[in-house]
Amino acid sequence: MARVKLDLTRDRELFAFIFARFIDGEFTGLKEGYALNRAPTLEAADFLARQIRDEIRHARMYRRLYEKLGLKNRAPRSSPLMSAILTPVTGRLWAEHCFLDKAIGERWVLYLMEWLSDSVADRLVVNNLKAIAKDEQTHIAFGEAETRCYATSPWRRYYLWGLFLRVDVALTILFRLTHRFFKKRYGSAAAKLLDDFFIVTRGQVAEDIADLLQVKNRRSWLQLVVCQLVFIVRYPFVGWWRNPRQNF
Ligand SMILES: [Fe+2]
Ligand SMILES: [Fe+2]
């Protein structure tokens, strides 16, 4: 059955919300600068520098799409709660950064872009999304490669899967909290589209990540809590004051 297409004029408010969140996401991408302190090689640092250029270009593209909607106000920022849940851990351990920000975070963004491309008829929007998606695929591929280099022992794989579970739970809570508001504000059809996207993508991302880490796709609260505690305890020892020169 053909999917209902969103219309740029009719669903203007919904697109404004989505483009504004994309702009937020691209600006978090600028925090890749912190991760430069953690880059283990000059090649990795070079990749991050290119990625920052990509994210700036993407932010401009989304801003132009937002302006095309003809709304008077500037793209609104997300709520503090949403920012807290979606803000990545850029600048922490290199492997955590590559895994959480790139392999997981950018994967969600890519799937959202692909879903949107299939849900909208406007050529300009689709072309922009496809161009950005190509860059995001390279960011994800880099994150996956670095994750594979790190996840060489069962404990490391266990730890990363536990961190993945935290992201999974955080996104599910965010989805449940915003679901009713979303339906009220943008209508049942838009809410249904988003429901379908979330359910399908959540399952797909879990499969992808289990495959990447070579672990069973199984949700465990105990694993989530243990790995989260390790994550918190390790934090004081991995601050951002480190001099990147010591890496090379
Ligand atoms: Fe981007
Ligand atoms: Fe990206």
Q: Which residue has the higher pLDDT, 234 or 161?
A: 161
At 243 the three-state DSSP class reads coil
H-helix segments, 69-119 = 80-86, 94-96, 106-119
- Which of the ligands is closest to the CA of residue 142? 2
Whole-number percent of the chain with pLDDT over 90: 53
Query: What would the pLDDT profile of 179-217 be if each residue is shown by its tens digit?
Result: 888 888 888 877 888 888 999 999 999 999 999 999 999
Ligand 1 centroid, distance to 51 Cα (angstroms): 8
Query: Where is 24: in which H helix or E strand?
Result: helix 12-29
Ligand 2 centroid, distance to 139 Cα (angstroms): 5
pTM to 2 decimal places:
0.89
Q: Which pLDDT does position 210 carry in this prediction?
A: 98
Which residues keep their CB under 5 angstroms from ion ligand 2?
106, 136, 139
Q: Which pLDDT does position 55 carry in this prediction?
A: 93
* Beta-ladder partners of 6: 120
- Mean pLDDT lowest among 42-46, 50-54, 82-86, 226-230: 82-86
Ligand 1 centroid, distance to 154 Cα (angstroms): 32
Query: What would the pLDDT profile of 25-36 be if each residue is shown by its tens digit?
Result: 888 777 788 888
12-242: CATH topology = Ferritin (1.20.1260)
